[in-house]
Amino acid sequence: MSEFFFEVRTFAAPMKSNARQVGAVTESFRVGIDSQPALRHQSHMKLISGTAVAEKVIEECRREIAELATAGKKPGLAVVLVGDDPASRAYVRSKDKKCRDLGLHSVKLELPASTTQEELLAHVQSLNNDPTIHGILVQSPPPPHIDEAAIVRAIDPAKDVDGFHPINVAKLALEDSSGFVPCTPLGCQRLLIDAGIETKGANVVVLGRSMIVGKPMALLLMAKGIGGDATVTVAHSRTKDLPSITRQADIIIAAIGRPEFLKAEHVREGAVVIDVGINRVEAPDTAKGYKLVGDVAFDEVAPKCSAITPVPGGVGPMTIAMLMANTIKACKQS
Ligand code: NAP
């Protein structure tokens, strides 16, 4: 998928953040620096490569799958798609491919758009009862006649690798580690940890309050322990004077679904910015006629940051990697 493509851009900025920086410059950015002699001395800026960290997570998954194999276990993931939305179809294909690459048992159920609520519930029930399946995911959004919340509630919480079932939402709030955390915020937290960005005591602003990204992200960051212990502010479309709030942040997580919304005026010097957004915008000069951009105006924000994720090649690849990790966890707990 194109979101896995990683583009190196060259920029540099002094580090003034309270967020502690301990990791090295990512390998991809080092390539950028080495090819630009004038930038070699300005190595504080870190471009956080989600592609590289996702590969690390996948390697960890490989090791765990091998261990499970010695115990006669093989994790299985079922992905259910209703309808023929091209973007959803592409996501489902890439999840199925990643499973197969890893040697996981993968079931891809492609159902017609005319599938009824009852038929879909029956499929979910059958997957709940299938001992070879440890993770179940129903690709969002389903057609409008489907009650998505009811489908999520029908998934066995022990197989809910998306982490959307109320039981898993509650477990996240309760800091019960047996639950499943939604893959995208889990991936963002892993990026911060891997990049050596200290969240303990940091002021973090999460931009967006969706159940898929914003809310679970805030819960993860305020939880006790590594990758948590932050002081979290959640902003949304009703927030007043957003720039004055985001400028207080050591770390900003942008998840609002508006192309290049976060501008330089929102960010203070030395902040860390994680860009969750994936927005398709017209680009007549490109072969496809469109390009993917994040929720952050990268070119103006990046020079102010001590670390930032690109789009593509940032949070995107982490989501699927964490889905694999959640499926393995579900298998281990079964
Ligand atoms: P969503 O459900 O549409 O939620 C967007 C949130 O942003 C809402 O809480 C909304 O506030 C808030 N918001 C919208 N406009 C705003 C504004 N002008 N100022 C402040 N807040 C504003 O979106 P989502 O599912 O969380 O996804 C967010 C972005 O992440 C999208 O670009 C999506 O494509 C991307 N995404 C990426 C991945 C990945 O794998 N990288 C995974 C999931 C999502 P209200 O609640 O007040 O409406």
**H/E segment holding residue 220:** helix 214-222
Which residues 6+ apart lie within 8 Å of 270 measured at CB? 13, 14, 15, 16, 17, 18, 19, 304, 305, 306
For residue 207, the ligand 1 atom closest to its alpha carbon is 21
- 284-331 pLDDT, tens digit each: 999 999 999 999 999 999 999 999 999 999 999 999 999 999 999 999
At residue 43, the pLDDT reads 52
For residue 320, the ligand 1 atom closest to its alpha carbon is 40
Q: How far is the CA of 208 from the centre of ligand 1 (A)?
A: 5
- The catalytic residues are 95, 139, 162
Could you give all domains of the chain from N- to C-terminal order, each with its CATH number?
7-48+195-316 (3.40.50.720), 72-160 (3.40.50.10860)
For residue 209, the ligand 1 atom closest to its alpha carbon is 9
**Closest C-alpha to ligand 1, atom 18:** 237
Pocket of ligand 1 (CB under 6 A): 184, 207-210, 212-214, 235-239, 242, 255-258, 276-279, 295, 315-316, 319
For the chain, the straight-line distance linking the first and the last C-alpha, in angstroms and rounded, comes to 31
The arrangement of strands across the sheet holding 105-111 comes to 105-111, 76-82, 135-138
Q: How far from chain centre, in Å, is Cα 30?
A: 24
Q: How far is the CA of 257 from the centre of ligand 1 (A)?
A: 4
At residue 45, the pLDDT reads 73
Identify the CA nearest to 306 among candidates 94, 42, 71. Answer: 42
Ranges of residues in the chain whose predicted pLDDT is under 50: 1-42
Q: How far is the CA of 142 from the centre of ligand 1 (A)?
A: 18
